[in-house]
Amino acid sequence: MLMAVTRAVNPALSNCDLEYLPRREIDVARASEQHARYEAALTALGATIVRAPPEPALPDSVFVEDPAIVLDEVAVLTAMRSPVRARETETLATLLGRYRPLRGLKEPAVLEGGDVLRIGRRIFVGCSSRSNEAGVAQLAAEIEPLGYSVHPVDVRGCLHLKTGCCYLGNGTLLANREWIDMRPFEGFAILETPAAEPYAANVISVGSAVLMAAGFPQAAAVLDQAGWSVATVDISEFSKAEAGLTCMSILFHAGMVP
């Protein structure tokens, strides 16, 4: 069973942590409506929604992808740069502990789940402003004994690895080469984001279906021509918080612990 962990929108979302974009007021009511449609889109992909407890004191808490990485055998709690964001881990750990044994990263590690892209037993980790070499090394120490291989990827010009590169399946990536060093992905087919749509690469793929943020018609056409079935959902309020589709859920299959 495919699970999707989500969390409700925080009323203080406009106070979110920003790196590249200027701060703009976020319409929380509209964001909540968009989040509901996002959950409905995940359900349409076959996912069962599991909602983590709300965190009204933590502005970024809707972005559940960053505090944890869920693999078949374990869930790894990350080490986020922001002390405020680090508090998001506590209630999320309680929920994930129902499904997986928990592991954790410690200082000097800094790592966020948005920088972690899994392709089978290969784990690609973005070296970005949000994830450092110590974070990559500690993650490797935790999961390589389980049969995974960890591959660092240089990220430039965007927040996370998955801001500029996501796996579609069938050995194919959707990527913005301007932001991601694609050399670690040698052997994969690369569909490039159109120049006019640099943020289009952050997508969720389940089988032949791809969920894409609304507003990227050229990228949607590229995927359609390549044989993927594309659905879109409006996340414009979350885009103001430098968020993409993957940020707001943790997808994993239940019942896979050996």
In this structure, are strands 189-192 and 172-175 parallel, antiparallel, or unpaired? Answer: parallel
Tokens 């018609």: give the residue.
217
How far are the Cα atoms of 72, 74, 76, 121, 199 from residue 147, in angstroms, in the given order? 11, 12, 15, 7, 32
Which residue in 16, 127, 158, 160 is the catalytic one? Answer: 160
Which residues lie closer than 8 Å to 233 by C-beta, 6 or more apart? Answer: 34, 37, 38, 41, 211, 212, 213, 214, 245
Half-sphere exposure of 100 (CA within 13 A, CB side): 21
Let me know how long the chain is. Answer: 258
d(CA 123, CA 20): 26
Half-sphere exposure of 68 (CA within 13 A, CB side): 33
In the residue annotation, 253 being an active-site residue is answered as: no
Which residue in 127, 158, 166, 247 is the catalytic one? Answer: 247
In the residue annotation, 160 being an active-site residue is answered as: yes
Q: Which active-site residues does the annotation give?
A: 160, 247
